[in-house]
Amino acid sequence: MENLLRPLIVIGGSVVLTLVIGWTTDLLLRKADQRHHETPLWGLLRRGRIPYQLVLCAAFLRATYDEAQLLEQYRTTIGRALTLVLIGATAWLVIRIAAAVVETSYSRYARVHRDPARVRRVRTQVTLIMRVVSAIVGVVAAAAMLLTFPAMRAAGASLLASAGLLGIVAGIAAQSTLSNLFAGLQIAFGDMVRLGDVVVVEGEWGTVDEITLTFLTVRTWDERRITMPVSYFTAKPFENWSRGGAQMTGTVFLHVDHAAPLPAMREKLRDILRECPAWDGRHYDLTVTDSTPSTMEVRALVTAKDPDDLWTVRVTVREQLVRWLAETHPYALPRVNTADAVLPPTHPRPDAHLPRPTRSRVHEPPRSTGR
């Protein structure tokens, strides 16, 4: 009877104690979250209740398993398995706690500073810091798990002795990976590109959607995702439309006839922009930038507060100006001249060598002189 009750008491007590402590901790975090609405720390810490309970349960079972006297022949194997679970759950809990602290710090910063560029910069740094922390914790946890095996501890000396040679070989083999890793750190803390920046890479316009230590994802206007190594942004030039403020100036080019009414087009451009909500009201202009034998090029200059609004302003101006010209001034649109060319007086006619046709006189019938 004792052989049956002892394992039940040990294992059941560990599980019950884990549930009680976990429920009490979660209750305290919930009350703290309700009292302190200004910080999301307590609510974020509640996300770690599952690894927290795993740590408690694994620790209790590991400490009391010898007292249970259950499966004596597998004591070493079960003890090592509980140790591995404890290490893995502890690493998981540390990552959740670090994520809660970092996310809380970012929320406070974003609430105090209203500059979108600075907020995006900090968001990029916070994201990459969390990835670095997760990688470090994962590597340490994996090393600790390996050291629980006696064979690994025995081979530690030889591994350390050959670490220098292996490091050189690994560095040569993973040269591109290491370059991307350092490029990711340079992007994070060098403020070259941030999450949410509008960039143009390889002729594609899009928004930076994700930044990791090795690659970067750009979301294009048509919802495609372009993934490229972060070393691209440290080795090649690219356009960042969000640097130095989000305000932008755009152009709309039209080809019109030489007789186009430019003063009326300027007034119409002003009316179009006043009715366009995306125009920020800073500046507008319409000038002739080029001329060809058949048309002249007209440039409409517009401004907007960000690239998205600038796109809206440009397409609105282009559409409404072309429609207004077609409805009110159709002669101002480009035309193909099909009339005969007017030759100078001294230029010989192409049909001068042909005989001129003689005109035959048409005899009219005699008029009747009826009385």
- Label residue 310 exposed, middle or buried (CB < 10 Å: 0-12, 13-18, 19+): buried
The confidence score (pLDDT) of residue 177 equals: 54
Cα–Cα distance for residue pair 208/276, rounded to 1 Å: 27
Q: How many separate helices (H) and strands (E) can be counted in the chain?
A: 12, 8
- Neighbouring CB atoms inside 10 A of 32's CB total 15
Instruction: Indicate the helix (H) or strand (E) that contains 341.
Output: none
The DSSP code sequence of 211-243 is: E-SSEEEEEETTS-EEEEETTHHHHS--EETTT
C-alpha distances in Å from residue 31, one per residue of 46, 144, 187, 274, 346: 11, 36, 40, 52, 102
The confidence score (pLDDT) of residue 360 equals: 46
Residues of the chain with pLDDT under 70: 1-8, 10, 65-75, 114-115, 117-118, 151-191, 244-246, 336-371
Domain ranges for the chain:
2-112, 180-240, 248-332
Rg (CA), the chain: 39
Distance of CA 368 to the CA centre of its chain: 97
The confidence score (pLDDT) of residue 292 equals: 86
List CB contacts of 272: < 8 A, sequence separation 6 or more.
Answer: 316, 317, 320, 321
The confidence score (pLDDT) of residue 144 equals: 80
- Sign of the Cα pseudo-torsion (71, 72, 77, 78, in order): positive
**In this structure, what DSSP letter does residue 365 have?**
P
The confidence score (pLDDT) of residue 232 equals: 77
Cα–Cα distance for residue pair 95/366, rounded to 1 Å: 119
The confidence score (pLDDT) of residue 68 equals: 56
List CB contacts of 124: < 8 A, sequence separation 6 or more.
Answer: 187, 188, 193, 194, 195, 211
CATH fold group of domain 180-240: SH3 type barrels. (2.30.30)
- Label residue 126 exposed, middle or buried (CB < 10 Å: 0-12, 13-18, 19+): buried
For the domain bounded by 248-332, which CATH number is listed? 3.30.70.100
Question: 185 and 236 in contact (C-beta within 8 Å)?
Answer: no
- Label residue 321 exposed, middle or buried (CB < 10 Å: 0-12, 13-18, 19+): buried
Q: In the sheet where 279-291 sits, what is the strand order?
A: 248-256, 296-304, 279-291
- Label residue 33 exposed, middle or buried (CB < 10 Å: 0-12, 13-18, 19+): middle
The confidence score (pLDDT) of residue 370 equals: 45
Give the closest residue to 218 by CA, choosing from 243, 198, 247.
198
Model pTM above 0.75: no
The confidence score (pLDDT) of residue 322 equals: 92
The confidence score (pLDDT) of residue 245 equals: 65
